[in-house]
């Protein structure tokens, strides 16, 4: 994510370079308000756990903590042993001005490492709770600003990163199955220091001023199950959704 990632989160979060952003905006269906709560929830907890684990290779996700979305926010469904945390980010992992911020079809499996679990996920969790409580985009944005100003949300730790390698990721209506990738979350607007978004550079950067970070994306050539990802992953995997 989404991170937006942010994507995501998401958020996303995680959305990419100029061409990709243009594609998303061209195909996106604006979601101006929250849909019914049931549209965001996955009734079968075991299905949500399994979906969350598809974000990273089994060598990582099998030992990770897994969060699932309840009516009042994320809760721990499975305890982990390796410090990683996997969950399915919803549309709220993105910045509040994202046109699909309320799109209930968005589901982005992500597994984050221990530094990101400690310092990236608190923001994801806060946004989800506020969204589920019926807060507006403006109210959520203001609450985030206040939380950062008061240091109620932690600063990102060095090395905070996550995996988004699920075939079934639905990043937006314009990217129903985007390319498998890894992400790094870094404080501030720092794309230039990574050489991101430059011709020939494999690094994609998205500045997320609302969450006060830059999200870096690097594509990988395979899905979390080890199978080869096609060059045009968006087109081939468009049918892989959570439903």
Task: Work out the average pLDDT over 102-106.
Answer: 96
- Tell me the mean pLDDT in the region 162-180: 92
Selection from 7-11, 78-82, 235-239 with the highest mean pLDDT: 78-82
pLDDT tens readout for residues 181-239? 999 999 999 999 999 999 999 999 999 999 999 999 999 999 999 999 987 644 332 22
Beta bridge partners of 213: 187, 208
Residue 112 has pLDDT above 50, yes or no: yes
Alpha carbon distances (Å) from 29 to 102, 132, 178? 10, 21, 17
CB 205 within 8 A of CB 214: yes
User: 120 or 235: which carries more pLDDT confidence?
Assistant: 120
- Structural contact between residues 89 and 112, judged by C-beta atoms closer than 8 angstroms: no
- Tell me what pLDDT residue 108 has: 96
Q: Which residues pair with 142 in a beta bridge?
A: none
**pLDDT value of position 65:** 98
CA distance 145 to 151: 10
**Mean pLDDT over each residue of the chain, to the nearest integer:** 86
Give the predicted TM-score (pTM) of the model.
Answer: 0.84
pLDDT the model gives residue 129: 98
43-58, pLDDT tens digit by residue?
999 999 999 999 999 9
**pLDDT at position 110 over 50:** yes
Q: Note the pLDDT of residue 30.
A: 62
Residue 20: is its pLDDT beyond 50? Answer: no
């Amino acid at each position: 994510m989404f991170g937006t990632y942010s994507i995501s989160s998401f958020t996303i979060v995680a959305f990419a370079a100029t061409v990709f952003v243009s594609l998303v905006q061209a195909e996106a269906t604006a979601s101006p308000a929250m849909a019914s709560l049931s549209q965001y929830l996955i009734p079968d907890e075991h299905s949500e756990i399994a979906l969350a684990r598809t974000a990273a290779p089994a060598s990582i996700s099998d030992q990770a903590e897994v969060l699932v979305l309840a009516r009042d926010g994320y809760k721990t469904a499975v305890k982990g042993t390796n410090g990683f945390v996997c969950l399915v980010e919803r549309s709220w992992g993105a910045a509040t001005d994202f046109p699909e911020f309320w799109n209930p079809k968005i589901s982005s499996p992500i597994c984050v490492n221990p530094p990101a679990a400690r310092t990236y996920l608190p923001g994801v969790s806060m946004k989800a709770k506020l969204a589920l409580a019926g807060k507006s985009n403006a109210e959520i944005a203001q609450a985030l600003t206040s939380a950062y100003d008061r240091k109620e949300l932690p600063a990102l730790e060095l090395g905070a990163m996550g995996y988004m390698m699920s075939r079934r990721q639905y990043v937006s209506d314009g990217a129903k199955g985007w390319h498998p990738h890894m992400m790094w979350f870094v404080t501030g607007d720092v794309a230039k220091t990574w050489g991101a978004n430059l011709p020939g550079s494999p690094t994609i950067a998205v500045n997320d001023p609302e969450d006060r970070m830059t999200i870096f994306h690097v594509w990988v050539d395979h899905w979390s199950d080890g199978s080869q990802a096609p060059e045009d992953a968006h087109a081939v995997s468009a049918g892989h959704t959570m439903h």
